[in-house]
Structures are given as structure tokens and as C-alpha cells.
Amino acid sequence: MKHLIDTNDLSNKQIDDILADAIKFKKSSPPPLLANKVMLTLFFEDSTRTRSSFEIAGKKLGMSVVHLNPSTSSTKKGETLQDTFENLCAMDPNTIVIRHSQNDIPSQLSALDLTPVINAGAGNYAHPTQAMLDYMTLKEHFGDIKGKTIAIVGDIVTSRVASSATRLLTRMGMNVIFVGPKEFLPPLSFTSDAMPQYESLDKIIENVDAVMSLRVQLERHETPVFKDYESYAKKYCITKDIIKDRDILILHPGPVMRNIDITDELLLDDRCKVLTQVKNGLYVRMAILKNLLLDS
């Protein structure tokens, strides 16, 4: 049984196969390769893109999709998460896609080996399908990403998008640097190798090929880090003034806080790939479902 908890679970061959399938699926729709299979989505945190993307990916491959909303489920009556999970697995879904605020939940549930578990975002630790769609978007643009440099900008310490992307992109030969206010920069243990860290965009912008802007995840900070969004945006919002006409790719996992993370103007710029990322996310998730449920 194959699970996807972190991109480290994927071999280089699997990553290549997933990317090749995603590119193929983007060109033309595949037949219903996973007809008669059932996907269950279980999201303990809010989601717009990831959940819809998984559900549409499953449907495009012929799967039936069932969503369980934890806020109206028996977890509200005191059932433990493991009991909920075991009961759902007793109904024989072919995979459970789960998002949770705690880093270890998807791996703990996958260890029961009852159904393939796919991590749709866990704590600040891993969001493997987001990392794969970021990788696809960068490769689509650059071809070879080896030796290219990406600056991840913003609230890095709370971000599973940043930690997952850093693990995958450095593995693929990219240089990753972190930019943000001191309070948002992670401790060295955040990723296996320490990434260069900067507090100002001006210092690095000349030397990067891509910028990944992140939302300030205020809901995850116990104490307020800065007075208001404006004071943050003054230093870290990605603007045309900062990017100028440089050939720099702009990424953001969404949800974008307009004019705080990226300006309205730059969101309309061809170099900004936010919606391409969302599109690629669908094809990457289709390819991942095929890889885990059909090829393995």
C-alpha cells in the first residue's frame, strides 16, 4: 500500500513519472483510469484550492468522491480521530485525502495501513502535492531548474508550503533562500539544511529567478507579530517597483492577500503564475492518484 505523506516518500522515478503524466493529462484528458474507485476527503482545516483540486482530479479519472465535513461528524461527539478513520476505512474507500493542523496526523494514520493516505497539508510540516505543483510550474517555465534560485518570501515559519517546497526544490538542485521579518524566519530545524535567510527583498532581488510569496498566516501565530498588514506590506509585498522588468517568475500557493502579498498590478502580469499553479495542481493530483492507486 502506497501513501503520500511527504515528497520524500517519492522516488526520483516516481517524481519523473508523475510529472510526465501531469504534462500528458494537461494536453489531453485521459480515460477514466480510476473508475469504480472511491476517494474520501477529510479536511480538518479550511481549503478552497486543495480540496476542490483533489475532488475534481478524482472525478476526471472516473472516481466517486465522498467528502466528510469534520465539523458535522462524530468527532464533534467525542470520537477520536483514529476511531473515525478506522470506521471510514471499514467502508473500503480506495484512498483518504486528509488535511490537519498537526504535523504528524497523516503519517500516524498511514501507519495503520488501512487505506492509502494522501496528505493534503499537515501543520507547518508538509504539503507534498503543493510542492509537486510548484515544481511542475517551475519546470514548465525554466526547463531545467538546477542552479536556479528561488526566494520564498513572507511567513515561512508557519508554512508547510515553504517546508515542502524547500525539501523538494533543493533535492532537484534549486537554491532556496528565505526572506521575511525575523519573526517569520524559521529555526534551522525547519528544513534539513539551513537555508540562507534575509530580512530585505532589495538585497536579493538581483540574484533570483523566482519568488514564492506566502500569505501571512495570522491564525497560526499565538502573539501578533506586527501591528498591521500595511507595515508588513511596505517591506514584503511583491510589487512592480521591486520586480521591474526582470525575468522573474512569481508564485503564490493561495489564498493571496491582494496588495499585501502581491499587488493587483503584478497579479495581472504574465510573469505571475498563480492561476497556472492552480491548473497544474489539478493535473499533478490526477497523476499522483494514478501513481498511487494504479501504478504502485
Interface residues with ligand NCD (CB under 6 A) are 49-50, 121, 127, 130, 160-161, 215, 217, 253-255
Cα–Cα distance measured from residue 52 to residue 47, given in angstroms and rounded to the nearest whole number? 8
In the complex with ligand NCD, the residue whose CB is nearer, 7 or 130, is 130
**Structure-block grid coordinates of residue 278:** 492552480
Run of H or E including 68? strand 64-68
In the complex with ligand NCD, the residue whose CB is nearer, 33 or 233, is 233
Q: How far is the CB of 226 from ligand NCD (least distance, A)?
A: 17
Say whether 192 sits in a helix, a strand or coil: coil
In the complex with ligand NCD, the residue whose CB is nearer, 26 or 49, is 49
| Residue-wise burial string across 84-116, b where 16 or more C-beta atoms lie within 10 A, e elsewhere | bbeebbeeebbbbbbbbeebebbbbbbeeebbb
Q: How far is the CB of 71 from ligand NCD (least distance, A)?
A: 17
Nearest in space to 170 (alpha carbons), one of 112, 131, 143: 131
In the complex with ligand NCD, the residue whose CB is nearer, 116 or 128, is 128
Distances (CA, A) of 140 to 51, 135, 151, 164, 239: 24, 8, 18, 19, 24
Q: How far is the CB of 158 from ligand NCD (least distance, A)?
A: 9
Q: How far is the CB of 147 from ligand NCD (least distance, A)?
A: 27
Nearest in space to 30 (alpha carbons), one of 237, 274, 285, 242: 285
Distances (CA, A) of 232 to 118, 235, 244, 259: 34, 6, 20, 11
Angle ∠(21,25,27) on CA atoms, nearest 5? 120
Q: Which residue is it, cell 519546470?
A: 139
In the complex with ligand NCD, the residue whose CB is nearer, 53 or 175, is 53
In the complex with ligand NCD, the residue whose CB is nearer, 165 or 201, is 165
Q: How far is the CB of 145 from ligand NCD (least distance, A)?
A: 20
In the complex with ligand NCD, the residue whose CB is nearer, 49 or 221, is 49
Cα–Cα distance measured from residue 19 to residue 33, given in angstroms and rounded to the nearest whole number? 17
Q: How far is the CB of 46 from ligand NCD (least distance, A)?
A: 8
Q: How far is the CB of 137 from ligand NCD (least distance, A)?
A: 13
Helices (H), 28-91: 49-60, 81-89
